[in-house]
Amino acid sequence: MNCTCNPNWNPTWNPTWQQLLEQYPHPLLSRQYGEKEKTPPIADDRIKAIAIVECNEPVVDVWSQKNRRIQMLPSPQAPFLHPDCNSGLPSCSKMRKTVFECLEKMVTELDTLAPSFGYKAGQISIRVFEGLRNLKTQEELFTKKFKEIKSFNKKLTDEEAEQETCKWISPVKNNIPVHSTGAAVDIRLWDEYNKTFVDLGSFGAIWGKNDKAVTFSEDITPIQKQNRYFMLLAAAKADLTNYSFEYWHFSHGDRYAAYWNNSQAKYSSLN
């Protein structure tokens, strides 16, 4: 994708993450960037040690909310067919009510921040890939990723491969995967004016190895870095916590968000 989707983008601006953090500060993003070398994977013992006090909040369905700015990606012919479609699982459009409200807040923040990042208010919307995911699918995805990691790194022991897999897919064993709680959502940004996805670097970890997945990657273009910071900042201001290994994954009220925000985890597994 070239920069025609973002006519106000200054092609000579090639900021570092540090410069973006200084120009548009946010305490959560500063902390996540500062601790990026020791950030815990999603099923780390530090995360699993956090108590969950289930608040019994209902889930809402993105389809029935009919919010023009927060829509599901189109439905695929089969689950996980393509990153331009939603996951294709029956529960993918569901999430906890507060998480959807955070996305509504995020749209407002995107509109406010848009001019600073070369866009206009109303131009950039949210497209949802997946919210709630059942445990059986979670287990299947974990096994698939585990096999993929083993095939790329033949020297890894099963234990090492399992640890690496845990960075990308939350395990079901001895764990409450965040997508099964309705607290997490995987999103992309959509440019309403140019009818195209905002260039954030390759999306997803399901369709093979993705070197650009890590949020504060140095392996992305200047425009991808600016677009990514635009999304991260709008999300953080809307009380969504990004997962440092996947720039598209956000959550609220789960253990991972509790870890970074020194708050309580209030959502447990729904299935």
Q: In this complex, which beta carbon is closest to Zn ion, that of residue 123 or of residue 167? A: 167
Question: Nearest approach, Cβ of 20 to Zn ion (angstroms)?
Answer: 23
Q: In this complex, which beta carbon is closest to Zn ion, that of residue 164 or of residue 192? A: 164
Q: In this complex, which beta carbon is closest to Zn ion, that of residue 146 or of residue 168? A: 168
Crossing angle of helices 97-113 and 222-237, rounded to 10°: 130
Q: In this complex, which beta carbon is closest to Zn ion, that of residue 119 or of residue 142? A: 142
Question: Nearest approach, Cβ of 48 to Zn ion (angstroms)?
Answer: 17
Q: In this complex, which beta carbon is closest to Zn ion, that of residue 150 or of residue 249? A: 249
Give the residues lining the site for Zn ion (CB under 5 A).
Answer: 186, 249
Question: Nearest approach, Cβ of 257 to Zn ion (angstroms)?
Answer: 13
Question: Nearest approach, Cβ of 184 to Zn ion (angstroms)?
Answer: 5
Question: Nearest approach, Cβ of 4 to Zn ion (angstroms)?
Answer: 30
Question: Nearest approach, Cβ of 183 to Zn ion (angstroms)?
Answer: 10
DSSP letters of the chain? --GGG-TT--TT----HHHHHHHS--HHHHHHHHTGGGPPPTT-HHHHTS-B----PPEEEHHHH--TTEEEPPPPSSTT--TTS----TTTTEEEHHHHHHHHHHHHHHHHHGGGGT--TTSEEEEEEES---HHHHHHHHHHHHHHHHHH-TT--HHHHHHHHHHHS--STTS--GGGGT-EEEEEEEETTTTEE---S---SSSS--TT-STT-SSS-HHHHHHHHHHHHHHHHTT-EEETTEEEEEESSSHHHHHHHT--B------
Structural contact between residues 238 and 106, judged by C-beta atoms closer than 8 angstroms: yes
Q: In this complex, which beta carbon is closest to Zn ion, that of residue 145 or of residue 249? A: 249
Q: In this complex, which beta carbon is closest to Zn ion, that of residue 119 or of residue 190? A: 190
Which tokens sit at 190? 């959509």
Question: Nearest approach, Cβ of 248 to Zn ion (angstroms)?
Answer: 7
